[in-house]
């Protein structure tokens, strides 16, 4: 509860700050202060299980170790994101305060989507996440690509929201309790009533859209490519895993009982996502676009959690959230500093800036899933969850094959960094301050620590 209230309040503060503060750098410090407050209060809530704020929400929100841990992960990653690329946010346009305000509102939405106890709250949470995202996507106002991406994202997002709303209405009408509360949606074993089945399907489609799972992924590459890189970083990391978290929670708590009836559908979506994400990523020349497709590919792996829906899957999704967000924020942070976004643009980075090159390598290795990195542990848990699920072993094999294919495009960047010579004068275009370097070291350390000792993340859940 702390996170919901405080992020909302701080969002408003940032909005007013945008009006009154004339300095361009001041909002960043206000935002970082706010993030520290939000983060520490959510950790306090995780430890004590008590919120600072007690208001009557009619049991529409529910907090437990699982989602509080997730919120803490999200807030930590966002803090790191602010610290690493806060200066880049300032460069996007003139409304710096507003950008930060929007990010705080997104965090508020994420906190709601993570703690929902009714379908209404889920819907509100998802919408609070989505609408600021449309704005952030189009924030580079003079760039046609950014405008196009924003419009595309908005239209398709609105459409999927409609589908979700319809699904919720069906579920509401179809269940005997006529309730939005997810624990009161009684489906019962056996054959699903038509209304419930249709509602489930609609919700599955719209959630798949939000997490960019194939075949509902078409917006992703354009939006990720068109949006200012610094916001793509946020979208593809924290926001994405939040979508998955809500997806998992919803399907576990309300539709878990008929798991076997929709499992095949998820399996289909998983395979499609893995195939499309990985195969298309192989052919990309722009690193930014490659990362967009790779985020689809990673979504395929995260879908394994929803497919498996067991204890390991829940642990896995937490690990994946941390591992994937950290690596994504890191690699996009480096990308914002680059002169050229193509893979050839990374040529010779190893010579020009060894630390950045090393950091990029670690992030890419983590995304590939090489042991000693957090990425390995998260993939490992996902595979374990899927194998534990038993009777669908083929899916695991498919996932593993595509994990091997993913090495191809991630390693192309590593090859460019270390093994190829640059033909341009500067590889790194933007000035890199020492603080950026320190943050890279912090992220590397976190990735390696989680890679060796994942309980550091999972352990919180059982506290």
Partner 1 sequence: MGNYITFPDLLIWLPILAGFFCLFAVNQKHAKNTAIVFSLLTLGVSIASLFFTNSEKYMTYNNVSYIWLKYLGANYFIGLDATGRMLTLLTAIGFPLILLTSQNDQLKKPNSFYGLLMLTQAGLMGVFMAFDALTFYFFWELALIPVYFLSSIWGGERRIQATFKFFVYTFAGSLLMLVGIIYIYLHTDARAFVDGTIATHSFALNAFYNAQLSGTEQAWLFAAFFIAFAIKMPIFPFHTWQPDAYDQSPTTVTMVLSGIMVKMGLFGVLRWLLPMFPSASIHHANLVITLSVIGIVYASCLAMMQDNIKKLVAYSSIAHIGLMCAALFAMNEISIQGVLIQMFNHGINIIGMWIVVEIIERKTGVKKISELSGLAASAPVLTILFIIIALANIALPLTNAFTGEFLMFAGLYQKNIWFAVFAGLGVILSAVYTLNMIQKVFYGSVNNVTTEVKDINLTEKLVLIVIVGIIFFIGVYPQPLIDLTSESVTNLMFKLK
Member of 201, 407, 442, 448 binding partner 1 (CB under 8 A): 407
Specify the residue, 220 or 298, whose C-beta has the smaller distance to partner 1.
298
Q: Does 411 bind partner 1 (CB under 8 A)?
A: yes
Please give the Cα distance from 366 to 382 (Å, whole number).
Answer: 15
Specify the residue, 30 or 456, whose C-beta has the smaller distance to partner 1.
456
Least CB distance to partner 1 at residue 440 (A):
17
Q: Does 265 bind partner 1 (CB under 8 A)?
A: no
Q: Does 99 bind partner 1 (CB under 8 A)?
A: no
Q: Does 404 bind partner 1 (CB under 8 A)?
A: yes
Member of 12, 47, 158, 401 binding partner 1 (CB under 8 A): 401
Residues contacting partner 1: total by CB under 8 A: 26
Q: Cβ of 389: how many Cβ atoms within 10 Å?
A: 20
Q: Does 453 bind partner 1 (CB under 8 A)?
A: yes
Least CB distance to partner 1 at residue 84 (A):
25
Q: Does 352 bind partner 1 (CB under 8 A)?
A: no
Member of 83, 271, 383, 461 binding partner 1 (CB under 8 A): 383
Q: Does 418 bind partner 1 (CB under 8 A)?
A: yes
Please give the Cα distance from 133 to 143 (Å, whole number).
Answer: 17
Least CB distance to partner 1 at residue 263 (A):
18
Member of 21, 60, 124, 372 binding partner 1 (CB under 8 A): 372
Q: Does 291 bind partner 1 (CB under 8 A)?
A: no
Tokens of 412: 């192309």
Q: Does 64 bind partner 1 (CB under 8 A)?
A: no
Least CB distance to partner 1 at residue 386 (A):
9
**In terms of Cα–Cα distance, which of 240, 330, 335 is closest to 287?**
335
Provide the binding-site residues for partner 1, judged by CB under 8 A.
365, 370-372, 380, 383-384, 387-388, 393, 396-397, 400-401, 403-404, 407-408, 411, 415, 418-420, 453-455
């Amino acid at each position: 509860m702390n996170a919901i209230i405080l992020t909302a309040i701080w969002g408003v503060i940032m909005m007013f700050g945008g009006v009154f503060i004339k300095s361009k750098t001041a909002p960043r410090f206000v935002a970082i202060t706010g993030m520290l407050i939000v983060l520490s209060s959510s950790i306090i809530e995780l430890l004590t299980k008590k919120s600072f704020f007690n208001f009557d929400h009619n049991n529409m929100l529910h907090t437990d170790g699982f989602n509080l841990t997730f919120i803490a992960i999200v807030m930590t990653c966002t803090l790191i994101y602010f610290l690493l690329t806060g200066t880049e946010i300032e460069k996007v346009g003139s409304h710096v305060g507003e950008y930060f305000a929007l990010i705080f509102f997104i965090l508020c939405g994420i906190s709601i989507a993570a703690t929902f106890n009714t379908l209404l709250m889920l819907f509100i949470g998802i919408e609070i996440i989505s609408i600021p995202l449309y704005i952030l996507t189009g924030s580079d106002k003079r760039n046609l690509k950014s405008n196009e991406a924003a419009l595309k994202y908005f239209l398709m997002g609105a459409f999927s929201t409609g589908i979700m709303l319809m699904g919720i209405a069906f579920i509401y009408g179809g269940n005997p309790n006529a309730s939005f509360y997810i624990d009161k949606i009684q489906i019962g074993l056996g054959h699903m009533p038509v209304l419930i089945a249709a509602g489930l399907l609609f919700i599955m489609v719209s959630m798949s859209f939000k997490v960019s799972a194939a075949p509902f992924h078409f917006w992703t590459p354009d939006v990720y490519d068109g949006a200012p890189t610094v916001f793509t970083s946020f979208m593809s990391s924290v926001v994405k895993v939040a979508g998955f978290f809500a997806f998992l929670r919803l399907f576990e708590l309300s539709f878990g009982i008929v798991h076997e009836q929709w499992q095949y559908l998820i399996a289909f979506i998983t395979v499609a996502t893995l195939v499309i994400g990985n195969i298309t990523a192989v052919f990309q020349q722009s690193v930014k676009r490659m990362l967009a497709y790779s985020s689809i590919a990673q979504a395929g792996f995260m879908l394994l959690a929803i497919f498996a829906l067991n204890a390991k899957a829940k642990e896995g999704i937490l690990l994946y959230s941390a591992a994937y967000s950290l690596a994504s924020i890191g690699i996009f942070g480096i990308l914002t500093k680059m002169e050229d976004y193509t893979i050839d643009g990374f040529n010779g980075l190893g010579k020009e800036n060894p630390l950045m090159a090393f950091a990029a390598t670690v992030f890419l290795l983590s995304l590939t899933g090489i042991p000693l990195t957090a990425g390995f542990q998260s993939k490992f848990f996902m595979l374990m969850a899927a194998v534990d699920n038993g009777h669908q072993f083929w899916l695991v094999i498919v996932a593993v094959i595509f994990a091997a294919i993913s090495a191809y495009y991630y390693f192309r960047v590593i090859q460019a960094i270390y093994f190829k010579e640059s033909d341009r004068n500067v590889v790194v275009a933007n000035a890199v301050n020492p603080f950026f370097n320190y943050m890279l070291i912090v992220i590397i350390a976190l990735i390696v620590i989680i890679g060796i000792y994942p309980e550091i993340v999972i352990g919180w859940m059982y506290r």
